[in-house]
Amino acid sequence: MEPIAYWPFDEGQGRIAKDLASGSCDQIRFALLKGRYQQSQDPIWRKGVSGSALLFDGYSTWLERSASLSPSLSEELTITAWIAPRSYDFGDEERLAAIVNQHDRERCEGYILGLSRHGSWSLQLALGDQWVDVWASGHPLPKGEWSFVAATYEAKSGQLKLYLNGSEVAVREHSQIHISITPSNEDLLIGRNNKGVILAEAFTMNMFDGLMDELCVYHAAMSEEDIASSYRHYLEAHDGDIPTIPYEDLAIPRAYFARDRHRPQYHLTSPGHWMNEPHAPIYFNGQYHLFYQFNPNGPFWHYIHWGHWVSEDLVHWRDLPAALTPEPGIDPDGIWSGSAAYDESGFPALFYTAGNHSLTPNQSVGLARTTYPQDGDLDLKQWVKHPHPIVVQEPDTLYLGEFRDPFVWKEGDVWIMLVGTGVSSQGGTAMVYVSSNMTEWTCKGPLIISNYERYPFLGVVWELPVLLPLKHNGDDTGKHILLISPWGKDAKVEVNYWIGTWDRANFRFIPDHEEPRLIDVGDFHFTGPSGMVDPVTGRSLLFTIAQGERTPQIDYDCGWSHGAGMPIALSLREDGQLGIEPIEEIQQLRGRQLLDLEDADLEEVNERLYHIQGDALEIQLAFSRGAASRYGLSVRRTPDGEEETVLYYDQDREQLGVNREKSTRDPDERIRGIQEGSLELQGEDLQLRVYVDRSLIEAYANGLKSLTTRTYPSRMDALGLHLHANGELRIRSIKIWEMKPAFIVSD
């Protein structure tokens, strides 16, 4: 039986997939073809079951053929394909992530074969004025594995059938027979739903994510024997076995984004697509593990998984497969933020926010345990979820459904958990729970309740509560830091903190100061706190997200969004203030030193800086007080100064800030304006540690404050540095290094 359309995807490279049945060549759509911020990239090809296969990225890869050139169907249909899903679709509006389709469900026209939530799959088509579907209930398609799927419709029997790996797995009989498939005037699409849901203006949902090979459409209903024969034929070259797929063949290729001129290189980023806050840091058997909010379907917030990185030193990192993914049960709608702690045997356990929109409240706390005791995998790639939520919000005076981001640690034989929420008519809080076994928890009430009336910027609910001890020169001080992120009405989303005392006996936090303080003055770029006590050094470490601040269309064109801030060591200074410093390990990423100069005036330093260029730099800069009252450093500067991002300190106003009015000429970029906040130096000279990492800029001032911001220059020569001052000023010292990437990326 000859197909009427046949895409073998054997090109193995390029931007065209040929239909061997018709001879037509179909253009492959792919976001990185545009080459907006790097050289144009071709679609991704991998080894297939037969020849090569095309990797669909889940949001921008599809093939399109106009309706006038598409094969016509009537009383019989067969579709066969080899597919290997990388991730599953959320199933927005119960629409399918299309393998192939030419349909309009609302107009009751055409057909679609595709996937939905958790690997469910279906053939759906218009028969007369009815929309008819058949689902392979109980036979989900596995992720990361090849499956041979087939779907048929036969008008004379009225039967729709589905086949998996040569065997029938579902059948549905239509109430009428001899009904033809109602034609559709939509274009034929492969990998994209004709009527996919639009999200954030730029993104179409219901798209296939994974490998596809050997797609055939027949103008006949094949028998089970014929389908089974076709299945066996494909496997002859593999000794009758379905070939396995290396993890790297399905992973998002970090190398595809490495040359993007705005993508950070020595800060933590997802391999591609969308990430939010890093969280759940933990150290085990010589390696640091850090997880993060991750959407494998594309660079937009939607179907959240837990991404996973691992490192031996906190600065050189490797990508690992997603640690936690949404599944039927307690977390079908998302795996949201949480933390990690050691279990009763000293093995890591993950505590996470389980999303289930079918329940009220839709958020609960889930638990996942490592399989390390069974498989000995030091990378901790496999986790087994506890079958039920371990903590569920009670329907009392709290904000019902706002209950998330468990932060867990162990004291003696007791585990303690904070969960972010709010108290009606009062403000945000973190509820305290205790347990002797990690699965049965007792509520001990609120850790501390914010005063919404007095501090409305703290919101009505707290997210991401973190409680860490503070040391001074390595010694215990008896003080802790409580960090939170506000949510809700009037909330200003920044990392707020209090220094105070952890009352272990009563499970309460007693702050030393009523008004919260800020670590960072960058205005919505330093958010999403998580933390740990490093068992190697005893330091309290803080991890954050560095928000990206771009439009959905730019995120679409780039294929990635957001990144992490520098890991920070927190301490208590001699003067009782919070000490913040980038971790010492970051020095391991230093490359060639570009400048080492002491005791020079502004003109001399700028002469030296004129010859230094770079977009991945570390700069240590110490000023001597002089007549100037406002001074600082411009980064990502063009030679003529048309574009620059200006870091400054206003000595009279005691403000640390950044001026981004000239950061870019690109009208599509959102970054503009001035960001600043209080920095009281108490007579100290200003000392800056500045980290330039393409679009991500971080500055640390005197171990007291940080400033995190983003900049996206439009000009390729925006690579310069320049010191500025409104009066006489000497530079006590300036040192500059090139910085090396945090990830090893191979083409």
Q: What is the pLDDT of residues 714-738, one digit of tens each?
A: 999 999 999 999 999 999 999 999 9
What's the burial of 626, exposed, middle or buried (CB within 10 Å: 0-12/13-18/19+)? middle
Average pLDDT over residues 435-461: 96
CA dist., res. 601 & res. 594, Å (int): 18
The answer, yes or no, to whether residue 421 has pLDDT greater than 60, is yes
Q: What is the DSSP string of 149-203?
A: EEEEEETTTTEEEEEETTEEEEEEE-SSSSPPBPP--SPEEESB-TTPPEETTTE
With pLDDT > 90 as the criterion, what percentage of the chain qualifies? 95
Q: For domain 589-739, give the fold.
A: Jelly Rolls (2.60.120)
> pLDDT digit string (tens) for 112-122?
999 999 999 99
200: left (phi over 0), alpha (psi -120 to 50) or beta: left
| Domain 5-243, second-level architecture | Sandwich (2.60)
138: pLDDT confidence band, cut at 50, 70 and 90? Answer: very high
- The answer to whether the beta carbons of residues 571 and 499 sit under 8 Å apart is no
Token reading at 381: 């790639």
Q: How far is it, in rounded angstroms, from Cα 715 to Cα 642? A: 9
Q: Is the pLDDT of residue 397 over 70?
A: no
Beta strand 630-637 with 645-650 is antiparallel
Q: In Å, how far from its chain's centre is CA 723?
A: 35
Q: Please provide residue 704's backbone torsions phi and psi, each rounded to the nearest 5 degrees.
A: -115, -40
Q: Same CATH topology for 5-243 and 589-739?
A: yes
Using CA of residue 304, residue 310, residue 315, residue 318, what is the dihedral sign? negative
* Strand ranges across the sheet with 305-311: 317-324, 305-311, 287-295, 273-284, 560-561
Kindly state the average pLDDT of the residues 622-632. Answer: 94
Burial class (CB in 10 A: 0-12, 13-18, 19+), 237: exposed
Predicted confidence (pLDDT) at residue 746 exceeds the cutoff of 90: no
Sole residue written with tokens 């100064």 = 641
> SS3 breakdown of the chain: % helix, strand, coil, rounded to 5?
10, 50, 45
pLDDT tens digit sequence for 224-266: 999 999 999 999 999 999 999 999 999 999 999 999 999 999 9
- pLDDT at position 237 is 97
Q: Please report the pLDDT score of residue 62 as a whole number.
A: 98
> What pLDDT, on a 0 to 100 scale, did the predictor assign at position 523?
85
Helix (H) or strand (E) holding 351, with range, is strand 348-355
Smallest CA-to-CA distance from 314 within 569, 106, 66, 97 is with 569
Cα(22)–Cα(120) distance, integer angstroms: 31
pLDDT at residue 1 in the model: 83
Average pLDDT, the chain: 96
Does 639 have pLDDT greater than 70?
A: yes
**Strands 616-624 vs 705-710: parallel, antiparallel or unpaired:** unpaired
DSSP-assigned states of every residue in 9-76: ----SSSEEE-TTT--EEEEE-GGGG-SSSS--PPEEEE-SSSEEEEEESSS-EEEE-GGGSPP--SE
Q: Any idea what the Cα angle at residue 214 is, between residues 212 and 217, rounded to 5°?
A: 110
- Match 């179909």 to its residue by tokens: 26
State mean pLDDT over 279-306. Answer: 98
The string of pLDDT tens digits covering residues 598-607 is: 999 999 999 9
Residue matched to tokens 């601040």: 549
pLDDT tens sequence across 571-609:
999 999 999 999 999 999 999 999 999 999 999 999 999
* 336: Cα separation from own chain's centroid: 11
pLDDT given for residue 436 in this prediction: 98
Q: Is the pLDDT of residue 362 over 80?
A: yes
DSSP letters of 202-263?
TEE-SB-EEEEEEEEEESS---HHHHHHHHHHHHGGGTTSPPP--HHHHS--GGGGTT-TTS
pLDDT of 616: 98
Q: Which of 480, 506, 344 is nearest to 415 (CA)?
A: 344
Q: What type of residue sits at position 554? A: I
Q: For position 586, what pLDDT does the model report?
A: 98
The ranges assigned to domains in the chain are 5-243, 283-582, 589-739
Surface-to-core class of residue 414, CB atoms within 10 Å of its CB (0-12 exposed, 13-18 middle, 19+ buried): exposed
Q: Which residues pair with 422 in a beta bridge?
A: 428
Scanning the structure block, which residue is given the tokens 């191979």? 746
Q: Beta 16-18 vs 5-7: how paired, if at all?
A: unpaired
**Which residues have a Cβ under 8 Å from the Cβ of 217 and sit 6 or more positions away?**
3, 4, 5, 6, 71, 77, 78, 79, 100
Average pLDDT, integer, range 666-679 = 95
Q: Coil, strand or helix: which one is 557?
A: helix
Query: Could you tell me the sign of the dihedral formed by the alpha carbons of 72, 75, 76, 81, in that order?
Result: positive
Out of 2.115.10.20, 3.10.20.30, 2.40.50.140, 2.40.170.20, the CATH code matching 283-582 is 2.115.10.20
CA–CA gap between residue 454 and residue 427 (Å, rounded): 10
Q: Cβ(288)–Cβ(575) under 8 Å?
A: no
- The band of 8, judged by pLDDT with boundaries at 50, 70 and 90, is very high
> What's the pLDDT at 334?
97
- Quick one: pLDDT at residue 424? 82
The one-letter amino acid code at 216 reads C
Look at strands 496-503 and 508-511 and give their pairing.
antiparallel
Q: How confident is the model at residue 74 (pLDDT cuts 50, 70, 90)?
A: confident
The answer to whether residue 683 scores a pLDDT higher than 80 is: yes
